[in-house]
Amino acid sequence: MSQHQTSDTDEASEAFDSPTVINEAVKGPDDAAESQATLSAEIADIESQYKQNLAAGQKPEAQPRLDYRPYRSSILRHPTKDPRHTDPETIELFSPAFGHRDIGTLESDLTIQADGEPIGERIRVTGRVLDGDGRPVRNQLVEIWQANSAGRYIHKRDQHPAPIDPNFTGVGRTLTGPNGEYSFTTIKPGPYPWKNHHNAWRPAHIHFSLFGSEFTQRMITQMYFPGDPLFALDPIYQSITDQKARDRLVATYDHNITEHEFLMGYNWDIVLTGANRTWMEEEDDD
Ligand SMILES: [Fe+2]
């Protein structure tokens, strides 16, 4: 199981029961909760040190730091020993297998899964899955999951006071085409609170999974939207210390994808290998 599946569950479990307005009025702010200022100072210190390292000739870091302290809950659960490669179980090499018949073409449109239209800003996210040499990766299973426009997941642990949209599940999947292309029509997700620290909010994002040709090849990452004011404050986004690597997780607004009187368009290519690869969440060793 990928680490992200764990972290996302935790993310959702951390999603919200932070101090309410009523609690703050009665008891004052929660003294036990660390402030954004505390976290932002830690983020700034690490950023400063990283830039010094770069100036001193250290190679850019393409991957997030597993022991990135501002992301509090990751400290106790990230691997502390070097991962070891193990041979996959036979079952992992042969199943599950996906074919065109397993995936309906309508599954890439998250706005038509219910009887009514979901609320929010309709968008299309499209791009290509490429290898390190720019070659298309065809027939690749691409899955996404995301919060609704109010920032709420359908998850029993996500109980923060934002509405669930009965017409939006937030999950979709598709296969890449002959040129590695994929396309999802969905609703722009809202930012949501989580319990890393007091008043912690995640930038709006869509989770992406690429399945590979075998179960053991699965890779998971997150796509963000350009210009999000929460980037600087978010320990998960900031755990990728290199700005260029961060930038590769941010989609580009593309007016050619935008449709007249219908939706806004974003482009986001996913590069699996090489120097410009899209950052992927590390997998557990088990
Ligand atoms: Fe999320």
For 4-53, what is each residue's pLDDT tens digit? Answer: 333 343 444 333 333 333 333 333 444 458 999 999 999 999 999 999 99
Ligand 1 geometric centre to CA of 16 (Å): 13
* Calpha distance 46→74 (Å, rounded): 16
For 258-280, what is each residue's pLDDT tens digit? Answer: 999 999 999 999 998 766 677 77
Ligand 1 geometric centre to CA of 202 (Å): 8
Is the Cβ–Cβ distance between 123 and 266 less than 8 Å? yes
Average pLDDT of the chain is 84
Q: What is the mean pLDDT of residues 183-207?
A: 97
Write down the pLDDT at residue 95: 64
Ligand 1 geometric centre to CA of 206 (Å): 7
Residue 275 in tokens: 């120097």
Q: What is the mean pLDDT of residues 59-72?
A: 90
Buried b / exposed e along 271-283 (16+ C-beta atoms within 10 A): bbeeeebbbbbbb
The alpha carbon of residue 190 and the mean position of all alpha carbons in its chain are separated, in whole angstroms, by 13
Ligand 1 geometric centre to CA of 189 (Å): 9
Ligand 1 geometric centre to CA of 102 (Å): 26
Instruction: Select from 10, 20, 18 the least CA-distant residue to 71.
Output: 10
Give the residues across from 109 on adjacent strands.
185
The alpha carbon of residue 276 and the mean position of all alpha carbons in its chain are separated, in whole angstroms, by 18
Ligand 1 geometric centre to CA of 268 (Å): 18
Domains of the chain, CATH where assigned: 19-78+98-283 (2.60.130.10)
Write down the pLDDT at residue 63: 82
Catalytic positions are 153, 192, 202, 205, 207
How many degrees, rounded to 5, is the angle at CA 266 between CA 109 and CA 227? 130
Is the Cβ–Cβ distance between 186 and 168 less than 8 Å? no
Lowest-pLDDT choice from 162-166, 184-188, 217-221 = 217-221
Burial environment of residue 109 by CB neighbours within 10 A (0 to 12, 13 to 18, 19 or more)? middle
Q: Between the CA of residue 217 and those of 69, 83, 196, 207, 211, what are the distances in Å?
A: 28, 15, 30, 17, 6
* Calpha distance 40→32 (Å, rounded): 17
Burial environment of residue 227 by CB neighbours within 10 A (0 to 12, 13 to 18, 19 or more)? exposed
Q: What is the mean pLDDT of residues 169-173?
A: 95
pLDDT bracket for residue 94 (50, 70, 90): low
Residue 72 amino acid letter: R
Position with higher pLDDT, 179 vs 286: 179
Which range among 204-208, 209-213, 278-282 has the greatest average pLDDT?
Answer: 204-208
Write down the pLDDT at residue 97: 63
Write down the pLDDT at residue 248: 94
Write down the pLDDT at residue 275: 61
